[in-house]
Amino acid sequence: MKKYYSTTVQELGEQVNAFKGAGMLIMFNENAPQELREYCILHRGNKLEDTVQPGDILKLGDTSYKVVFVGNQVQKNLKDLGHITLRFNANKDGESLEGSLYLEEKPVADVAPGDEIAIYRP
């Protein structure tokens, strides 16, 4: 597999786990606006080298998820701001929220500072 995106978790906002219970996580690079920080996984080293596509694999710490659907602003937002929403629902409702990356439906992994978030092309 070819890794084409990598970043490192720096900090978890106080409300990250509230969203985890709803099957989603919000990512933002470490210079996120103050009003959003408490809801986000804050990360550093936002390196994107290819286009995110269905069928790719997102790895959150040690857990892998297949990418099911890519919102039309994911590429730009991820590259420019490190800001996307990870949705762990297999897009079963047919949503297409612009800044969301829809992943297979399985339990949301715990994430901690120092963990890598990466995307691979199989």
The residues assigned a catalytic role are: 43
In 3-state terms, what secondary structure has residue 46?
A: strand
Distance CA 50, CA 32 (A): 23
Helical spans, DSSP H, in 1-122: 16-20, 34-37, 74-81
Q: What are phi and psi of 75, to 5 degrees?
A: -60, -50
